[in-house]
Amino acid sequence: MKNLATAVLMTIVTTVLFGLIYPLAITLIAQITLPDQANGQLIRKNGVLVGSRIIGQPFSGPGYFHSRPSAAGAAGYDAGASSGSNLGPTNQKLIDRIRGDVEKLQAENPGKPIPVDLVTSSGSGLDPHISPAAAEFQVPRVARERGINENELRQLIANHTISRTFGLLGEPRVNVLELNLELDERKPMPK
């Protein structure tokens, strides 16, 4: 009986300590020291929530830089269904989707090599970044639709290119949401 009482008491103590006190303490520390990161790095424009720096979202209009394809959820970019497609390289469904994307992109920029991240999804399906090459590939279309100089767009891409972390981890990348938001500020879509 004494062992049972000790076991029950230990369960209650560890549940309160590690299930309540510890998570609340970590949340409080995060809210004090890194509030932006703790709250999802949300981006607001004129007080309206437009997205997050760390979650990708679709852009389909011709005057916007497009994100990577997403396999998260039926329509893509569903944070509740974050995952890759799990389709192997010989899967016909994957081959057909990529072939369709390649044909569309080749029509957009004939003769130019297509960056791989414009036709493949990330492991999470929620990657908010594209490579600088993928952004560069889209410059002619965006410039034409916006009526903006291509060199001005290239400078905007350069301003939004994030270097490798600590100079050696990862690859250079461009946050598509932040790039499109600045593009809207500088050169709104013609009406």
Give the DSSP per-residue string, 32-99: HH-HHHHTT-EEEETTEEEEETTB-----STTS-------SSSSS--GGG-------TT-HHHHHHHH
Q: What residues pair up with 175 in beta bridges, in sequence order?
A: 129
| Of 133, 187, 178, nearest in space to 159 by CA | 178
Question: Which H helix or E strand runs over 161?
Answer: strand 161-162
Instruction: With beta carbons less than 8 A apart as the criterion, state whether 117 and 161 touch.
Output: no
Q: State the Cα–Cα distance between residues 88 and 36, nearest whole angstrom.
A: 37
Burial classification of residue 145, based on how many CB atoms lie within 10 Å of its CB (0-12 exposed, 13-18 middle, 19 or more buried): middle
The whole-number pLDDT of residue 140 equals 95
Consecutive sets of 10 residues in the chain, 191 residues long: mean pLDDT of each? 93 96 96 90 88 87 91 78 82 90 91 92 85 96 92 95 92 95 86 68
pLDDT score for 74: 73
pTM of the model: 0.80
- Token pair 């424009």 is found at 45
So what's the pLDDT on residue 79? 77
Q: What is the structure's pLDDT at 78?
A: 80
Q: What are phi and psi of 159, to 5 degrees?
A: -65, -25
Is residue 162 within 8 Å of 173, Cβ to Cβ? yes
- Domain spans, the chain: 1-39, 41-186
Taking phi over 0 as left and psi of -120 to 50 as alpha, with beta for the rest, 46 belongs to left
